[in-house]
């Protein structure tokens, strides 16, 4: 959309013209439905006299613009999503009236109809710059303002915003036809909300609809009482009611932990958490009113990993009330000031203030593996990334900004000391309260409290891309005594920085209190040191007995790839399942996975080690990611000539592990779920197992076949063409809900036939009435079939349609299509050839588009390389 992409240069120029204070009065009429709503914005602001600037607005129709009492010609003033404002005065008032469009893509003001009861739910999502889809605004983070919202809506609805309503009025009018769907028209009401504190526009929010609600309050550390609320769709009321007290409790623990850790009490008037449908993010930190995807309301059994992730998400968004909301980055290049801190602090809070004590193992297995993957692409970027425009920003909500940033913050705490770090954070929050800050501002406060020069540290860790590898070089004499231990650091040629790492080296041996060969592997010694440059001698290790296993980066204090010494690697492969500490297992497992995807460890070794460890692993997120990595290894990295046999073997092993698992356990649940993804067309034994679980003719003790699990079984049967579309429709008719409609689309798209793939391809690209969640399901179902011949048919089509997608879809929908429609099971050589050609022909394409396509193509390069490596091992054996 021309004009919708704001550049950093334009933002800086506008900031120089628009002067504070800025005040908005936004009136929204939500009684018009079902496609549009009426928006009236009055903006009062100072400016450089005589200068010109612009407001942002994406609207179907702008009906009036008044600037300083003068009506402007709309045809001339509004173009390319911008309202031109010229000949400004020292003080200005502009009023804009427009018809804006409801969204079904989770951008702007999303409108969702719940098929189970016909209820309509509205919510806003404004990050990065989508407040402009709802009202006229200077939509950039450093033009903070005070916002006054007024909303007209059906009287039976609940309407919430960043602040509590100051007043409400009953109106003598009815909703217009279509506003309430099939429901009869009803009287309307006006909600007038209290003025917000000074804040950025992307953090404003409105939710409206017949939400179910729960309330409590928190005794804030500054003496205030903070009202708290939870909301969800009526269809999910019973499910959330079971967890409401728990979620309130987790949130209150977060309030207390953050206030104590930072020395700054929660700063806002209230705290709502609203679980909303068809969300294209995990959650959003709107001030005083967080929106969260309502898949976090658990109607069916979920993994412990997902239950823990919900806790981390709740605490992540709460941390944003300080990092991102109270103090906001000046421009999107410092997005990490929001996201890295929230990710780091939510993990720390989860580990230290909740029952999820192994949260750092969860972080290592899940978030850190995400970062390592993205940091080894050509599209990697520094944590403090160069952001030239909004499109650059969109693609930086990634593993670098979130997970690498959080890991590096953990390293910074180890480097300067925890007490000094949080003292600096206290100063930072107090100095920049309700305003904007930059990296330099933060570093200054940390340098003041820690006494350490962080300029060089920042350049290494925050301003340079890429990841180092630390290799253990161990010397041992004939008596098993260490004669020398060195840690050798290398860097990739395209990012050749060698960093300083504050880390621990752990010595691991069998628990001496148990008989040989039967005990857990425990840490028996540890050395702390700084690693710098190409080679660091660990002098304290000399003369110590050689342990069974040496773990560099014990406690996971730094961010690096690891390569073990030969004996330690051999020991880990044979004994990973015996390590007692969850974090140590996660660090080792991640290193083995990294070696596998680099072609440094045979796929067969990773598969065997993982299957053995899955039999005893108890940390749910580590379990979940190990299953995902196992699947990638089987379907993409193994010897091509042996792949089908290996997949069948692994499927049988998973089924056996599930049968042996504790009845009703998280492990049993995950193992069966993983098994369901290994079906191939024609596998009658697989189809029989799945069908018998679905119809109840066979049962695993403790395994509950609830709604969501039924749909996993349905999906698995359709994926091997053992269930018809009529049967899928009948399953939906049993319970027609928002979630089940999504599951239906995903199942039908997974059918391994040419007709089904053609249908899914067309639905994803051309069915504009699909919600964002339905689109995600149909696109993922399309590409998720491990059939090379089917996938090969879409290699050319995929690259041919990329330009059309980028031109015709909103960013989030384009991101879904470009990612999920990629025919990942096609022959890697075909994907590489077509992808490289497209990239060569599109060197001038938008950077955000290039980054997404490069990530896909480079994954195929890696797949081909690793598969060739493993195939060559089999070839060597044949010779």
d(CA 760, CA 185): 37
Per-residue pLDDT at 178: 81
Average pLDDT over residues 230-236: 98
Who contacts 617 (Cβ-Cβ below 8 Å, separation ≥6)?
577, 585, 623, 626, 667
Query: By CB neighbour count within 10 A (0-12 exposed, 13-18 middle, 19+ buried), where does 312 fall?
Result: buried
Span 368-394, pLDDT tens digits: 999 999 999 999 999 998 899 998 898
User: Helix and strand tally (H, E) in the chain?
Assistant: 29, 29
Per-residue pLDDT at 193: 98
Bridge partner residues of 469 (DSSP): 490, 561
Q: Is the pLDDT of residue 265 over 80?
A: yes
d(CA 495, CA 197): 43
Span 288-341, pLDDT tens digits: 999 999 999 999 999 999 999 999 999 999 999 999 999 999 999 999 999 999
Categorize the per-residue pLDDT at 878 as very low, low, confident or very high, splitting at 50, 70 and 90: low
| First vs last C-alpha separation in the chain | 59
Whole-Å CA distances, 407 to 338, 367, 404, 526, 555:
14, 9, 5, 21, 12
Per-residue pLDDT at 179: 85
Bridge partner residues of 188 (DSSP): 154, 171
Average pLDDT, the chain: 96
**Alpha helix segments (H runs only) across 432-576:** 439-450, 455-461, 566-575
Question: How long a stretch of residues is the chain?
Answer: 879
d(CA 538, CA 784): 47
Element (H, E) at 816: helix 811-820
Instruction: Read off the pTM.
Output: 0.96
Categorize the per-residue pLDDT at 875 as very low, low, confident or very high, splitting at 50, 70 and 90: low
Nearest one of 227, 240, 308, 325 to 274, comparing CA atoms: 240
Query: By CB neighbour count within 10 A (0-12 exposed, 13-18 middle, 19+ buried), where does 165 fall?
Result: middle
Helix (H, G, I), strand (E, B) or coil at 308: helix
Asked about 731 being catalytic, the answer comes back as no
Per-residue pLDDT at 727: 97
Who contacts 133 (Cβ-Cβ below 8 Å, separation ≥6)?
58, 59, 100, 101, 103, 107, 108, 109, 126
Q: Strand 18-29 and strand 146-154: pairing?
A: parallel
d(CA 637, CA 869): 9
By the 8 A CB rule, do 642 and 873 touch?
Answer: no
> How open is the CA angle 140-29-767, to the nearest 5 degrees?
75
Q: Is the pLDDT of residue 516 over 80?
A: no
Q: Does the bond joining 365 to the residue before it have cis omega, within 30 degrees of 0? A: no
Average pLDDT over residues 557-561: 98
Per-residue pLDDT at 374: 95
DSSP-assigned letters across all residues of 756-773: HHHHHHHHHHH-TTS-HH
Whole-Å CA distances, 628 to 7, 297, 625, 671, 715:
38, 24, 5, 11, 18
Structurally, at CATH architecture level, domain 327-461 sits in Orthogonal Bundle (1.10)
Categorize the per-residue pLDDT at 794 as very low, low, confident or very high, splitting at 50, 70 and 90: very high
Q: Find tokens 């041919």 and name the residue.
A: 800
Per-residue pLDDT at 706: 96
Q: Where are the domains of the chain?
A: 1-209, 327-461, 468-558+560-600
Phi, psi of 67 (to 5 degrees): -120, 115
Enter the DSSP assignment of 47: E
Bridge partner residues of 526 (DSSP): 506
Secondary structure E strands in 303-432 = 327-329
Q: Strand 70-71 and strand 108-113: pairing?
A: unpaired
Span 95-123, pLDDT tens digits: 999 999 999 999 999 999 999 999 999 99
Inter-axis angle of helices 237-262 and 418-431, to 10 degrees? Answer: 100
Phi, psi of 237 (to 5 degrees): -60, -50
1-209 — its CATH code?
Answer: 2.60.40.1730
Phi, psi of 93 (to 5 degrees): -135, 125
- 504 vs 512 pLDDT, higher one: 504
Percentage of residues of the chain with pLDDT beyond 90: 93
Supply 625's token pair. Answer: 């990611």
Q: Annotated catalytic residue: which of 317, 367, 423, 777?
A: 317
By the 8 A CB rule, do 867 and 636 touch?
Answer: yes
Supply 611's token pair. Answer: 């299957």
C-alpha gyration radius of the chain: 28
Lowest-pLDDT choice from 17-26, 27-36, 159-168: 27-36
Whole-Å CA distances, 594 to 308, 370, 469, 599, 848:
24, 11, 11, 9, 26
Nearest one of 133, 201, 126, 191 to 157, comparing CA atoms: 191
Q: Is the pLDDT of residue 2 over 60?
A: no
By the 8 A CB rule, do 506 and 550 touch?
Answer: yes
Enter the DSSP assignment of 434: T
Span 415-440, pLDDT tens digits: 999 999 999 999 999 999 999 999 99
Categorize the per-residue pLDDT at 1 as very low, low, confident or very high, splitting at 50, 70 and 90: very low
Q: How many CB atoms lie within 10 A of CB 822?
A: 26
By the 8 A CB rule, do 362 and 619 touch?
Answer: yes
By the 8 A CB rule, do 155 and 136 touch?
Answer: no
Average pLDDT over residues 459-487: 97
Q: Is the pLDDT of residue 235 over 60?
A: yes
d(CA 141, CA 677): 43
Percentage of residues of the chain with pLDDT beyond 70: 99
Helix (H, G, I), strand (E, B) or coil at 516: coil
């Amino acid at each position: 959309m021309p004009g919708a992409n704001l550049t950093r240069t334009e933002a800086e120029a506008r900031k120089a013209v628009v002067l504070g204070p800025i005040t908005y009065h936004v009136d929204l009429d939500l009684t018009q439905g079902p496609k549009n709503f009426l928006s009236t914005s009055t903006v009062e602001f100072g400016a450089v006299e005589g200068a010109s600037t612009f407001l942002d607005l994406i609207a179907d129709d702008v009906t009036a613009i008044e600037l300083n009492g003068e009506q402007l010609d709309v045809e001339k003033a509004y173009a390319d999503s911008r309202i031109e404002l010229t000949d400004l005065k020292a003080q200005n008032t502009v009023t804009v009236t427009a018809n804006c469009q409801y969204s079904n893509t989770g951008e702007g003001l999303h409108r969702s109809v719940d098929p189970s009861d016909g209820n309509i739910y509205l919510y806003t999502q404004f990050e990065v710059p989508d407040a402009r889809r709802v009202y006229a605004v200077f939509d950039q983070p450093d033009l903070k303002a005070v916002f006054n919202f007024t909303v007209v809506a059906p009287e039976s609805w609940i309407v919430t915003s960043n602040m509590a309503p100051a007043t409400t009025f009953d109106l003598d009018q009815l909703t217009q036809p279509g506003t309430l769907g099939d429901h009869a028209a009803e009287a309307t009401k006006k909600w007038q909300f209290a003025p917000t504190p000074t804040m950025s526009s992307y953090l404003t929010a409105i939710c409206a609809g017949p939400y179910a609600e729960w309330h409590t309050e928190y005794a804030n550390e500054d003496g205030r009482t903070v009202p708290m609320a939870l909301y969800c769709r009526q269809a999910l009321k019973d499910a959330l009611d079971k967890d409401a007290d728990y979620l309130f409790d987790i949130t209150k623990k977060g309030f207390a932990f953050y206030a104590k850790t930072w020395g700054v009490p929660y700063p806002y008037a209230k705290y709502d958490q609203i679980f909303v449908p068809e969300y294209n993010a995990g959650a959003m930190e709107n001030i005083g009113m967080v929106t969260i995807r309502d898949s976090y309301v658990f109607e069916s059994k979920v993994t412990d990993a997902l239950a823990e992730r919900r806790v981390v998400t709740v605490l992540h968004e709460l941390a944003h009330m300080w990092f991102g909301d109270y103090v906001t980055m000046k421009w999107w290049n410092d997005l990490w000031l929001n996201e890295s801190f929230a990710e780091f602090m939510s993990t720390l809070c989860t580990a230290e203030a909740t029952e999820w004590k192994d949260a750092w193992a969860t972080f290592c297995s899940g978030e850190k593996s995400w970062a390592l993957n993205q940091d080894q692409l050509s599209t990697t970027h520094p944590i403090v990334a160069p952001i030239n425009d909004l499109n650059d920003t969109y693609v930086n909500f990634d593993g670098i900004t979130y997970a690498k940033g959080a890991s590096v913050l953990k390293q910074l705490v180890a480097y300067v000391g925890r007490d000094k770090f949080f003292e600096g954070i206290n100063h930072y929050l107090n100095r920049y309260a309700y305003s904007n800050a930059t990296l330099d501002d933060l570093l200054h406060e940390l340098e003041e409290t820690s006494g350490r020069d962080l300029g060089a540290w920042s350049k290494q860790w925050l301003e340079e891309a890429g990841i180092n590898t630390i290799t253990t070089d161990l010397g041992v004499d004939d008596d098993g005594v260490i004669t020398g231990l060195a840690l050798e650091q290398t860097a990739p040629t395209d990012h050749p920085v060698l960093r300083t790492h504050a880390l621990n080296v752990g010595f691991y041996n069998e628990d001496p209190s148990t008989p040989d060969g039967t005990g857990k592997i425990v840490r028996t010694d540890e050395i702390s040191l700084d690693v710098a440059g190409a080679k660091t001698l660990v002098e304290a290790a000399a003369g110590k007995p050689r342990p069974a296993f040496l773990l560099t980066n014990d406690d996971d204090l730094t961010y690096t790839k690891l390569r073990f010494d030969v004996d330690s690697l051999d020991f880990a492969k044979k004994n990973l399942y015996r390590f007692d500490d969850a974090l140590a297992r996660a660090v080792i497992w991640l290193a083995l996975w990294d070696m596998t995807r680099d072609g440094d460890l045979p796929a067969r070794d990773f598969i065997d080690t993982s299957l053995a460890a899955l039999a005893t692993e108890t940390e749910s997120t580590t379990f979940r990611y190990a299953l995902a990595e196992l699947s990638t290894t089987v379907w993409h990295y193994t010897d091509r000539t042996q792949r089908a046999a290996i997949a069948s073997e692994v499927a049988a092993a998973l089924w056996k592990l599930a049968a042996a698992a504790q009845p009703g356990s998280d492990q049993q649940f995950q193992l069966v779920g993983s098994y369901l993804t290994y079906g191939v067309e024609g596998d009658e034994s697989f189809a029989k197992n799945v069908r018998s679980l679905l119809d109840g003719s066979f049962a695993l003790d403790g395994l509950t076949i609830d709604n969501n699990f039924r749909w996993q079984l349905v999906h698995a049967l359709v994926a091997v063409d053992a269930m018809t579309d009529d049967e899928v429709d009948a399953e939906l008719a049993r319970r027609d809900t928002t979630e089940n409609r999504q599951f239906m689309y995903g199942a039908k798209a997974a059918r391994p036939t040419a007709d089904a793939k053609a249908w899914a391809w067309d639905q994803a690209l051309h069915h504009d009435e699909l919600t964002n969640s339905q689109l995600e399901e149909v696109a993922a179902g399309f590409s998720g079939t491990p059939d090379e011949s089917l996938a090969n048919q879409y290699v050319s089509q995929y690259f041919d349609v990329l330009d059309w997608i980028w031109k015709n879809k909103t960013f989030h929908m384009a991101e879904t299509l470009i990612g999920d429609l990629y025919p990942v099971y096609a022959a890697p050589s075909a994907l590489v050839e077509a992808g490289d050609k497209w990239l060569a022909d599109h060197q001038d394409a938008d950077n955000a588009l290039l980054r997404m396509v490069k990530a896909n193509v480079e994954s195929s390069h890696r797949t081909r390389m690793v598969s060739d490596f493993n195939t060559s091992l089999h070839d060597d054996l044949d010779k």
